[in-house]
Amino acid sequence: MTSAPVPRPRRGRGWRRLRRAVLARRRPLAAVLAGLAVLAGVRAYAAPPPPTVPVLTAAHDIAPGATVGPGDLVTRPLPPEAVPSGVVRSAAEALGRTTTGPVRAGEPLTDVRLLTADLLAHHAGDVAAPVRIGDPGTARLLRVGDRISLYAADPQGEQEPVEAASRVPVIALPRPRDEGVSAVSGALVVVAVPPETARRLAGLGVSSFLSAVIVR
């Protein structure tokens, strides 16, 4: 005696439409699934982001001789190999200090960019002497580290200029934030000189017109 066949469940029209839709789009679906698999694999094996170090940098261009304020500083992540030596570690170390030269936006702030007693670390026995150069255009040509010779001229032109200092290093270039330096007031330059030369320059600065010549 044979058993009666089990009837298959009848599927409605909705199932048949779904089956036809899947079969019609099987290739695009396969491509999408393959793409998702590749993307998952790439993400799984992607290298981690490189390490960075938070560094105090200039938020914008800072003029020479400017007093550093809170709005002048911003912390940015940098690769460890891009961090220069002598970088300022905290805002407290920089606030209220004077810049020795121009600082570009995004430039890490270092100890050589700020006016401190350390400027004389490589000039044993010297003092920092502020000298007012009569021609502000000449002072704008100078950079920290340049060596200059200073000459004192009689404002009345009755005497020949005399050399007041020879081959002295420029260690700072303080200038107003607004660069409002006139030809009358001149521009300030800080040089490292022996104490006796500093005294001579102080006297000549009152009675003479000082000029600078860049030398090797």
Tell me the mean pLDDT in the region 77-106: 87
Instruction: Please tell me the distance from the alpha carbon of residue 133 to that of residue 214, in angstroms, as a whole number.
Output: 13
Note the pLDDT of residue 178. 47
- Strand pairing report for 127-133 and 187-193: antiparallel
Q: Is the pTM of this model over 0.75?
A: no
Domains of the chain: 53-115 (3.90.1210.10), 127-214 (no CATH)
Note the pLDDT of residue 144. 80
User: pLDDT (tens digit, 9 = 90+) per residue, 121-165?
Assistant: 677 788 888 899 888 888 888 888 889 999 999 877 777 889 999
Note the pLDDT of residue 183. 43
User: pLDDT (tens digit, 9 = 90+) per residue, 199-214?
Assistant: 999 988 888 899 999 9
- Rg (the chain; Cα; Å): 36
User: pLDDT (tens digit, 9 = 90+) per residue, 25-49?
Assistant: 666 666 666 666 666 665 655 567 7
Note the pLDDT of residue 126. 87
Q: Enumerate the H helices of 1-132 as residue ranges.
A: 13-24, 26-45, 91-94
